[in-house]
Amino acid sequence: MPPLIRGLIIANVLAFLLERALGVSATLWFALWPWASGQFMPWQLATYAFLHADVMHLAFNMYGLWMFGSELERLWGARRLGLLYGVSVLTAAVVQLGVTHMLGNAAPTIGASGGLFGVLFGFAMMFPQRRIMLLLPPIPMPAWVFVTLYGVIELTLGVTGTANGVAHFAHLGGLLGGWLVIRQWRREPPPG
């Protein structure tokens, strides 16, 4: 396992254990609270990505990070992948804050999904024809199709309010962050 991915997984697991030990205090201090809630603090733009609702939430995010991020880290190196992941986490937070402000939502946001969605976007851009096999239903599809469909589903669920309790717009913000970083990289001359 590449070092950045290993470090992110270890940090998320340790944060999850700390979250369980601290209880509600962890959510009060480190979850991403909407601006109007009176609980928002600037550090939450990053710390929310290390909190998870339960073991399954943590497991799915870390599995996705390992599955898609490991290959990107081998291709780009830890520094570039870290930049893509960090920008995606921040972009996801900003989009989520904007949406919760417009909707008047007071619930906090937690989870590494925004960063993971940026990684998914990067994977689809670098390996567009790589086959990804869905679990349910078991349908193989190219990475670019998988990420495009996933984005359309997230947008649909977010706009319709279906699957309440999931930060669909944070996921879309993560995709946006991945797109912004890769777009910038494509404008820069190659290193060397």
Q: Is 32 helix (H, G, I), strand (E, B) or coil?
A: strand
Peptide bond into 137 cis (omega under 30): yes
The one-character DSSP state at 41 is -
User: Which element (helix H / strand E) includes 24?
Assistant: helix 24-30
Catalytic choice (52, 88, 168, 171): 171
Strand partners, 109: 32
Q: Using an 8 Å Cβ cutoff, are 151 and 170 in contact?
A: no
Q: Find the catalytic residue in 52, 88, 113, 168.
A: 113
Q: Who contacts 16 (Cβ-Cβ below 8 Å, separation ≥6)?
A: 50, 51, 52, 55, 58
Q: Is 113 a catalytic residue?
A: yes
Q: State how far the Cα of 2 lies from the Cα of 130, in Å rounded to an integer.
A: 20
Is 52 part of the annotated catalytic residue set? no
Largest CA distance in the chain: 49
Q: How far apart are CA 71 and CA 4, in angstroms?
A: 11
Residues noted as catalytic: 113, 171
